[in-house]
Chains A and B, each alone.
Chain A
Amino acid sequence: MKSVTFLFILIFGTISCTGLPKLDPVNSSIIPEIHKRCSALFLNGRWEFIHSIEATMPNNKKSFIIGITVISPEIKRVESVIMTIEGLVLFDACYEQKVVINRGIPPFDSVDFARHLMDDIKLMFFKPDGQIIEAGMLSSGEYVCRHKSNDGHFVDIVTNNVCAWEIRRYTPSAALRKTIKASHCKTLPGSNGIRIPGRIELDDRGANGYSLTLELIGAKPLAKN
């Protein structure tokens, strides 16, 4: 029995470990440049974003909403409003160490929904928690910074340039759980000439997987609170 369990752990462990893609080593002189590129994806200071969002749920049903997000990366604060295109606010919440729901119309009123949404926003806009444990190159030629968070999750930041990047989040057992792809960069009036992804696609591969496509309507830097 013990040997079966050992075999199971061995097989399971092997399968799990194959989840993290192997990074090809790079010349140590370019590692600071890779770190810089990964870091450059994330905006500094307080920003306001307005997106139109297409949500595809597990039953393949589509939902269209408008999302307004204010991020303050330095203090890890997120304010989020979701409303219908006609302007009816469905969800209004804030995150700063904990989630506070100011308004929620069913099915947008659950704490679980709010927590997941805040996690998605943090993954999109904030530098990952934890240290960079590895930096290198994928076989496709893209540079990668690999982070390991305190809870054991891995986050890969995959970048070609500032405007075509991907964030991949893996479980502690190295299973790919979430991907975020940014593209179609734009410089909008009022965005201080900074190029902002015009499209962000999030794909959650969990048991109740869903996908979100965010199209940028507006972005602007804000004064600090």
Chain B
Amino acid sequence: MKIKKCYSSVSIFILFIASYLSIGWADNWDQIKKSAVEVNTVKADFIQEKHMKILTKPLISRGVFYYKVPKSLRWEYISPVKSILMMQNGKTKRFIKKNEGYIEDNSANLQAMKFVLQEITMWLSGRFDENPDFTATLESGHKILLLPKEKSLSMMIQKIELTLSDRPGIIKSVKIYESENSFTKLVFKKVILNDKIEDSLFRKI
């Protein structure tokens, strides 16, 4: 009985310490920025769910995500459409895999994606509260809510919800709402921090 009581006290203590540690880094903007400073590279698998009223079930895409400070991104989809979206030194390119190899996308919608990519690099550097386009609020449950400042932007993106991982410096998931009925959920898995990533990965296919 005594052992059981002791075990239960230890459990509560461990739980308390664990929750303190995990909340700690996501408790305020300074802590978040401090944790982000220690992140130089990120590699993660991702699963993307597109939820829309028109779809009977979410459209699932999978891929790999790479980030390197200060602003290099590679967003590579493996299914259902093989494609690579890259950003380095402010230049954004998208390539799609076709039978004849990768073909560059010249579409105007790349501008909209450039904006999204720039947002992501800002999140990864922990600078949520310095965002000129969104007002950031820290919420319970390791969540950050981003609301557009301008009406013109809110026509495109209604809100963004980021859930931070228990591991400092890591974003667990992102939900981008275009409307109440339409949102994209990205869940990051197998996250590797500060592994060596070659610069060429952000320039070449």
**Chain A residues in contact with chain B, CB under 8 A?**
48, 50, 52, 54-55, 61-66, 68, 70, 79, 81, 83-90, 92, 103, 105-108, 217-218, 220, 222
Among B13-21, B30-38, B100-108, B162-170, the one that faces the other chain is B100-108
B182 beta carbon closer than 8 Å to chain A:
yes
Q: Which residues of B contact A48 (CB under 8 A)?
A: 54-56
Q: How far is the CA of A83 from the CA of B112 in the complex (A)?
A: 11
Cβ-defined contact, B80 with A217, below 8 A: yes
Q: Which residues of B contact A108 (CB under 8 A)?
A: 109
Cβ-defined contact, B107 with A63, below 8 A: yes
Determine the residue in chain A with the shortest Cβ distance to B96. Answer: A64
Cβ-defined contact, B50 with A54, below 8 A: no
In the assembled complex, the CB of B121 is this many whole angstroms from the nearest CB of chain A, namely: 15
Cβ-defined contact, B56 with A84, below 8 A: no
Q: How far is the CA of A107 from the CA of B107 in the complex (A)?
A: 10
Q: How far is the CA of A49 from the CA of B106 in the complex (A)?
A: 25
Cβ-defined contact, A64 with B108, below 8 A: no
Q: How far is the CA of A87 from the CA of B178 in the complex (A)?
A: 10
* Contact flags B59-93 to A (C-beta < 8 A → 1, else 0): 10100000000000001010011010100000000
B184 beta carbon closer than 8 Å to chain A:
yes
**Chain B residues in contact with chain A, CB under 8 A?**
48, 50, 52, 54-56, 59, 61, 75, 77, 80-81, 83, 85, 94, 96, 98, 103-109, 112-113, 116, 156, 176, 178-179, 182, 184
Cβ-defined contact, B56 with A83, below 8 A: no
Cβ-defined contact, A86 with B105, below 8 A: no
Q: How far is the CA of A103 from the CA of B113 in the complex (A)?
A: 17
In the assembled complex, the CB of B184 is this many whole angstroms from the nearest CB of chain A, namely: 4
Cβ-defined contact, B56 with A85, below 8 A: no
In the assembled complex, the CB of B160 is this many whole angstroms from the nearest CB of chain A, namely: 12
In the assembled complex, the CB of B202 is this many whole angstroms from the nearest CB of chain A, namely: 16
In the assembled complex, the CB of A223 is this many whole angstroms from the nearest CB of chain B, namely: 9
| Besides the known contacts A68-B52, A84-B113, A87-B61, 5 further A-B residue pairs in the complex with CB atoms under 8 A apart | A54-B96, A89-B178, A89-B182, A105-B156, A220-B56
Cβ-defined contact, B109 with A84, below 8 A: yes
In the assembled complex, the CB of B21 is this many whole angstroms from the nearest CB of chain A, namely: 33
Cβ-defined contact, B109 with A222, below 8 A: no
Q: Which residues of B contact A83 (CB under 8 A)?
A: 50
Q: How far is the CA of A210 from the CA of B107 in the complex (A)?
A: 14
Cβ-defined contact, A222 with B56, below 8 A: yes
In the assembled complex, the CB of B87 is this many whole angstroms from the nearest CB of chain A, namely: 12
Q: How far is the CA of A83 from the CA of B54 in the complex (A)?
A: 13
Q: Which residues of B contact A222 (CB under 8 A)?
A: 56
In the assembled complex, the CB of B62 is this many whole angstroms from the nearest CB of chain A, namely: 12
Cβ-defined contact, B104 with A62, below 8 A: yes
Q: Which of B108, B109, B179 has the most CB of A within 10 A?
A: B109
Q: Which of A83, A84, A105, A218 has the most CB of B within 10 A?
A: A84
Take A54-B98, A85-B77 as given contacts and tell me if A64 and B54 are in contact as well, using a CB distance cutoff of 8 Å. Answer: no
Partner of A65, one of B103, B109, B184: B109
Cβ-defined contact, B176 with A65, below 8 A: no
In the assembled complex, the CB of A14 is this many whole angstroms from the nearest CB of chain B, namely: 41
Cβ-defined contact, A61 with B106, below 8 A: yes
Determine the residue in chain B with the shortest Cβ distance to A52. Answer: B81
Determine the residue in chain A with the shortest Cβ distance to B48. Answer: A87
Cβ-defined contact, B105 with A63, below 8 A: yes
Determine the residue in chain B with the shortest Cβ distance to A83. Answer: B50
